[in-house]
Amino acid sequence: MILGVGETSSNAVTAGRGYEGHSRSRNWAIGSLFWYTFRMQEVCNVNEEQGLHHQLTAGQMAMVAVGGSIGTGLLLGSASAIGLAGPAVILSFLLAAFINFTVACALGELACAHPAAGSFGVYGDLYLNDWAGFLSRGGYWAAIAVSIGAEMVASAVYMAHWFPKVPAIVWVALFSLLLLLVNLLDVGDYGRFEFWFAMVKVVTIAAFVVLGAALLLSGRVAPQYTVQGGFFPLGVLAPFLAMTFAIYAFGGIEFVAVSSGEARSPHEIAKATRITFALLTVIYLGAMAVLVGVMPWNRAGISESPFVTVFRSVSIPGASHLMNFVVLTAALSGANAALYVSSRMLFSMARTGWAPARLGQLNARGSPKLAVLVSSYGIVVALVLERWSPRSAFEFILRAAFFGMMLSWIVSLAAHVSFRRRSSPEEIGALPLRSPLGIAGSVVGFTVICAVILKGWYDSRVNLISGVLYLLLLTGAWWLIKQVRAKAS
């Protein structure tokens, strides 16, 4: 088994200490952001997300997560990671897979105990404080919404490969309309659509791994792992330089936690967590092992995507057109999944008083219509920045967005430590998914992710400025909203 499994008879660890409410107590949070004593927040009751339809299966939840994780970064940007570490990039992704395992364990346990669309925001509220809950929820919503716009702009670029005379704004408008219509469907219909949409890139990458392995094992292609300067051509520490790319590539495992609010049961959540982790690990490690095995690492991505190079080597006709189709569906699938999770996050914020109450309204199909529409703001932002602002402005926004995504992991891991300390062995044993790593795994994951973020800030002034500004803006928004809520009450 990938993750521990057990029997359960309820959605929460206990009836009196779930999403239904908490008594006040004192706890210690971990890490530089949470090393202080605080009182547990009085949280919302179970009715706060009432109206959502619980229809998603484990397979649908997993494909939403995989669809949001596997994007053009792997298909087109893999050359960047290879350029930093050479063939040893395999170790970068192996280490990233372990960190992802710690996050999957923590999120899986928490999501089974507290199925909620607010997910890590709820975990922050319950086990840390409302500042941590707001940082993770608000920061993630703003970050993931911006990524929707980036994927839509990328989709227009891919369409220009076939229709160079059609303005990009036309494709952005058409694709945006399609995604909005899909996200306003009943969640069961949405899950079925995203399942098959994301399956396109999963099947393509699986085919790539099989073809590459066949080329290597048959002797048709000589293994390139040690040809150009050995396995560590850039030094034994080079794999750590590519860790940032590798960890960000695994971003998406948290989509399972968000979709848990519409899951059929905690058992489906547990199963979806295991499927998602297994798929991402096999796909990323397999793809990287094949990439650096079938072609010299210093030639990857020089003139075309490494994936195109491999498909072309086995004489697949129209390899470039095939990959253009795949990266197009990858971008659209990623945007579709991102719009889903961002709308649910905004919906959760509205239901808990951190966003206008109207955004918590649902249509007849159980979809948060206004939250979906507002969450598509990233499309407009990306278009404006791409067309009229300096390139550096767009870069700052995207770097801040990456930091926002990592906040969800940091808060979840910190909350999991508090969750484990407060829970008895019997309560943990009742969950359908149990972390075999326990508190230690979350502490290690928290420490490494913080180290990767700080390393990124040290290496890049853009990362530092965008990350710190993002943190300050979120904290300012939290304080202002808190003041408004205090006056209203």
pLDDT at 38 (0 to 100): 33
The alpha carbon torsion through 198, 203, 205, 206 (nearest 10 deg) reads 140
CATH of the domain at 383: 1.20.1740.10
What is the Cα–Cα distance from 186 to 262, expressed in whole angstroms? 11
Q: Is residue 301 part of a domain?
A: yes
DSSP H helical segments within 77-162, as ranges? 78-85, 89-113, 119-127, 130-160
Contact 292, 312 (CB under 8 A): no
- Residue 56: strand pairing partners: 263
pLDDT at 369 (0 to 100): 93
What is the Cα–Cα distance from 13 to 416, expressed in whole angstroms? 13
Q: Is residue 18 part of a domain?
A: no
pLDDT at 408 (0 to 100): 92
Q: How many CB atoms lie within 10 A of CB 14?
A: 14
pLDDT at 303 (0 to 100): 54
What is the Cα–Cα distance from 361 to 303, expressed in whole angstroms? 49
pLDDT at 313 (0 to 100): 67
pTM given for the model: 0.86
Task: Provide the domain limits for residue 390.
Answer: 52-488
How many domains is the chain built from? Answer: 1
- Residue 38: strand pairing partners: 27
What tens-digit pLDDT sequence spans the chain (489 residues)? 445 444 443 334 433 344 433 333 333 334 334 433 333 333 444 457 889 999 999 999 999 999 888 876 666 567 778 888 999 999 999 999 999 999 999 999 999 999 999 999 999 999 999 999 999 999 999 888 888 888 888 888 889 889 999 988 889 889 999 999 999 999 999 999 999 999 988 998 888 888 888 888 888 888 889 888 899 999 998 898 888 888 888 888 899 999 999 999 999 999 999 999 999 999 999 989 988 888 888 876 655 566 666 776 667 777 778 878 888 888 899 999 999 999 999 999 999 999 999 999 999 999 999 999 999 988 887 777 667 665 555 556 667 677 888 899 999 999 999 999 999 999 999 999 999 999 999 999 999 999 988 888 888 887 888 889 889 999 999 999 999 988 887
Q: Angle 180-363-53 (CA atoms, 0-180°, nearest 5)?
A: 95
Tokens 């579709």 -> residue: 336
Q: Is residue 248 part of a domain?
A: yes
User: What phi, psi does 463 have (nearest 5°)?
Assistant: -60, -45
Closest CA to 103 of 240, 245, 255, 239: 255
Q: How many CB atoms lie within 10 A of CB 178?
A: 13
Q: Tokens in use for 76?
A: 């087109």
What is the Cα–Cα distance from 146 to 401, expressed in whole angstroms? 7
Contact 86, 228 (CB under 8 A): yes
Residue 434: strand, helix, or coil: strand
Closest CA to 370 of 351, 343, 349, 348: 343
Q: Is residue 355 part of a domain?
A: yes
Q: Is residue 344 part of a domain?
A: yes
Q: Is residue 9 part of a domain?
A: no
The helices-and-strands tally (H runs, E runs) of the chain is 20, 4
What is the Cα–Cα distance from 137 to 155, expressed in whole angstroms? 27
The alpha carbon torsion through 300, 306, 310, 315 (nearest 10 deg) reads -110
Residue 220: strand, helix, or coil: coil
Contact 63, 195 (CB under 8 A): yes
Tokens 């293994």 -> residue: 223
pLDDT at 302 (0 to 100): 54
Q: Is residue 457 part of a domain?
A: yes
Q: Is residue 353 part of a domain?
A: yes
pLDDT at 72 (0 to 100): 60
For 98-108, give one letter per residue: b (16+ CB within 10 A) or e: ebbbbbbbbbb
Q: What is the DSSP string of 191-204?
A: HHHHHHHHHHHHHH
